[in-house]
Amino acid sequence: SWGRALLVALGITVALAALVELYVRNLPGGFVWAGEGALAMMLWVAFLGASMATYEKAHLALEFGQKLWPAGAAHVVRAFAHAVTSACCIALLLLSVHSLGQHHDSWEAAGGHGSTLQTLTWMPLWVVYLIFPYVFAAMGVRLLAQTYTIANKIDEAPKEQLPT
């Protein structure tokens, strides 16, 4: 009923207000690391999602070439586009390994304490960056395999196509 819904809404509002009051009284500075921690987690989720999309063949692709070339050459154009994308992923893999090494070296030089992030002192920055070499290696290999299968016309359609 309407009265019951109003009481539930009022109860939830009072509970939330009490939680905010407890938070403000006990942690006046708040969680100072929350913003950078959220950004680090967002990087992991986004890049793991990109890797999964490549695995499922649901990734973004350079498709404009398919419209410009004759149908008989479409597989060659698609294979070339995948090869270029794979090469970019492999280049980013090499750069990410170098960057990861630099951040790990600076962390070790500081005695292995804290982070180079401003407020995320409980996690070294190199741990945040561990996602990059894994994802770029996985995507590079997957795209290279797709290049081969597309060029040889043995590629399979993705298992589940979403409507466009």
**pLDDT tens digits, one per residue of 52-67:** 999 888 877 666 666 7
Q: Which residue has the tokens 């005695």?
A: 111
Give me the pLDDT at residue 52, please.
92
Give the tokens for residue 58: 């649901």
Please, are residues 117 and 36 in contact by the beta-carbon 8 Å criterion?
yes
**pLDDT tens digits, one per residue of 13-34:** 999 999 988 888 887 776 777 7
User: Residues 139-151: what's their mean pLDDT?
Assistant: 93
Give me the pLDDT at residue 108, please.
73
Q: 20: number of CA atoms within 13 Å, CB side?
A: 6
**Nearest 5°: phi and psi at 10?**
-65, -40
**pLDDT tens digits, one per residue of 56-103:** 888 776 666 667 778 788 888 888 989 999 999 999 999 999 999 888
- Is residue 162 pLDDT above 60, yes or no? no
Residue 151: what residue type?
A
Q: Which residue has the tokens 């466009």?
A: 164
Please, are residues 81 and 59 in contact by the beta-carbon 8 Å criterion?
no
